[in-house]
Structure 1
């Protein structure tokens, strides 16, 4: 059982790294006004969805035995919480001083991001649930 948890955590770490690489790649390749520019629609919306995908993978780092629907709900809830935190102005203040804070917490609230988080998580949870169901049937 410990072996399965370790494999799950390693897969989650690899997936999160892959999502991060794609998000940063889109920002770097599409940058028109500097490194990590996210002013364009593609960079903005894909970054939001990929951030949520990273959080979904991150759930499995913390809880490798989590069910796909639980992980999906937890990831979306976390993303929505971070987005709503932006209404306080705290993330904007932290982001003014730190690139990491800007990437993790964002800068300003955008209601559209609430939907993009679901777009980033739902396909992963559906695929994950289908694979898990198929493995149970085959076992």
Structure 2
């Protein structure tokens, strides 16, 4: 898979995340942001490992999101709090899984729709 569409997907994810925070407040923005956080991690995994299978990228992105959430049970250095957060919130785990599942579905669909390249 070419890296350009993945890079564009990562950029779009950041724009969507910022847009959600600017347009809405409260639970909608928070949980959409959680899901998009995992989608961004997913795109970064695919950028680093372009041949990764969608299920593996989804498990990796969701697992990293969960690991970061559980790390919030301990003290996160102040410098990292804007990116990693600071307060453990159990519902976030669900929304990370939603983001991972959505990214997996989009990636798998894209791979199915891509025309086969003839060998030779």
Q: How many correspondences in the alignment? A: 118
Give the unaligned 5+ runs of structure 1: 32-39
Residues 1:59 and 2:45 aligned together: yes
CA RMSD of aligned residues (A): 2.0
Larger proportion of helix: 1
Please show how residues 85-96 of structure 1 align to structure 2 within 5 Å: 85-90=71-76, 93-94=77-78
How many angstroms does 1:130 deviate by?
Answer: 3.2
Which TM-score applies when normalising by structure 2?
A: 0.85
Comparing both chains, which one has the higher relative contact order based on Cα–Cα distances under 8 Å and sequence gaps of 6 or more?
Answer: 2
| 8 Å contact from structure 1 (residues 89, 108) kept in 2 | no
TM-score between the two structures when normalised by the length of structure 1: 0.75
Q: Could you say if the C-alpha distance between residues 18 and 135 of structure 1 is closer, same or farther in structure 2, counting changes exceeding 3 Å?
A: closer
Shift of 1:135: 3.8
The whole-number CA distance in structure 1 between the counterparts of 2:92 and 2:48 is 24
> Where has structure 1 moved over 4 Å in runs of 4 or more?
136-139
CA drift of 1:18 comes to: 0.7
Unaligned runs of 5+ in 2: none
Q: Distance in 1 between matches of 2:109 and 2:24?
A: 34
Equivalent runs, 1:43-58 vs 2, <5 Å: 43-58=29-44
